[in-house]
Amino acid sequence: MNFIISSSTLSKQLARIAGAIPSRSFLPIIENFLFEISDNTLTISATNLETSMQTRIPVEARGEDLQVAIPSKILLDILKALPEQPVTFIINEDNFTIEISSDNGKYKISGENGEDFPAIPKPEGTDAIQIPLHVMLKAINKTLFAASTDEDKAALNGIYFDLGEHGATFVATDAHRLVRYRRVDVTVDNPTTFIVPQKALNLLKGSLDASSNKDLVIHYNDNNAFFQGEDLLLVCRLIDQKYPDYENVIPTQNPSRLFINKTELMGTLRRVNIFANRSTHQVRFSIRGDELEISCEDPDFANEAKETLKCHFEGEDIDIGFNASLLIDVISNLSTESAVMELSEPSRASIILPNDHEEGENILMLIMPIMLNSYAV
């Protein structure tokens, strides 16, 4: 069996799915790419047994259909080192050695029988939803940063998909902050919910073309989700946990509203946070009329800082504490130039909203306050 392919095309497609390959595994064969050649199409697979990825490339092939597992690292390294040119793969069907011929020379790699590679799950017995690719990317980008990395909170280690007849909702939380991204223009006939691991969504985000105007088809059943693009498939095992009642932690009565410029707020938070306690990152918001004072103190090192910003505030004067690092993460994910913070009491969660939305979407961010120390800067 042999086939010809552009070195840069192959390198680019391998890079899209290489993140699914573990650096070390108890099952050595999954440290390889699986190449399957059939009907002048090369299908390449990678897996870590939890998440699998596939891409397809048209090639000029001669010989019988074949499966071969090729060591990923050496293949990626040689393709990166080659200039753009056609390369020919000649595969020995008896011992699975691979010879790569280029304008520069010939290179030989020892492969393995592709039939020993773990089977990639198929979308059987699934429902499906079709969603514009740019919408899926935006849902991931707006929520993923808020997912928990604490392995003891397995249910929070991903994005919660809540799909229904009236819209699709994507939620992420680490119990300190929460993001709810909702699309009223994406619906399904049979409502369902599931949790997609953040590691799989990071791989998906890195492999999709943000400029594409194509749709992404998501198949799902009780065990797996299948994200199918034009030339890419990602399959991941769902998190088998019950997601917390996120709506219950979103306060509905927020009598106070703070309107402020996002860029100015971010600059102040970054500067003041330099002087905050390294463990708590605690900053104090003191809102009096049309002024927001942000201050902090680290008694261990006698550090302190204070800045005052102009704002528009509707409500009673309030002092409330936040983790500056978490708040910076939340504010930086707003795509508008100004933000609205809805406040109630110093002990209750605060809502952060953009001042504008793309048609069809609704974004809500929440951050929990932290207990203020009794200091005055």
Sequence-separated (6 or more) residues with CB below 8 Å from residue 45 = 17, 33, 34, 36, 52, 53, 54, 117, 120
pLDDT in tens, the chain (377 residues): 899 999 999 999 999 999 999 988 899 999 999 999 999 999 999 999 999 999 999 998 998 899 999 999 999 999 999 999 999 999 999 999 999 999 999 999 999 999 999 999 998 889 999 999 999 999 999 999 999 999 999 999 999 999 999 999 999 999 999 999 999 999 998 999 999 999 999 999 999 988 888 999 999 999 999 999 989 999 999 999 999 999 999 999 999 999 999 999 999 999 999 999 999 999 999 999 999 999 999 988 999 999 999 999 999 999 999 999 999 999 999 989 999 999 999 999 999 999 888 888 999 999 999 998 754 44
Amino acid making up residue 29: I
Q: What pLDDT shows up at residue 374?
A: 58
Reference 66, options 137, 1, 157; nearest CA is: 1
Instruction: Enter the DSSP assignment of 40.
Output: T
SS3 category, 140: helix
What does the block give as tokens for 126? 């699934």
**Alpha carbon distance 159, 179 (integer Å):** 10
Q: What residue ranges define each of the domains in the chain, with the CATH number in brackets?
A: 2-116 (3.10.150.10), 127-248 (3.10.150.10), 250-367 (3.10.150.10)
Q: What pLDDT shows up at residue 376?
A: 45
Tell me how many helices (H) and strands (E) the chain has: 6, 27
Neighbouring-strand partners of residue 123: none
Model confidence, pTM: 0.92
Q: What is the dihedral of CA 98, 7, 208, 367, to 10 degrees?
A: 90
Q: At which residue do the structure tokens 């943000």 appear?
A: 210
Beta strands in 198-337 (DSSP E): 215-220, 224-228, 232-237, 256-261, 282-288, 291-298, 303-310, 312-314, 318-323
What does the block give as tokens for 86? 């056609």
Give Cα 156 to chain centroid, integer Å: 13
Measure the N-to-C terminal CA separation of the chain; round to a whole number of Å: 75
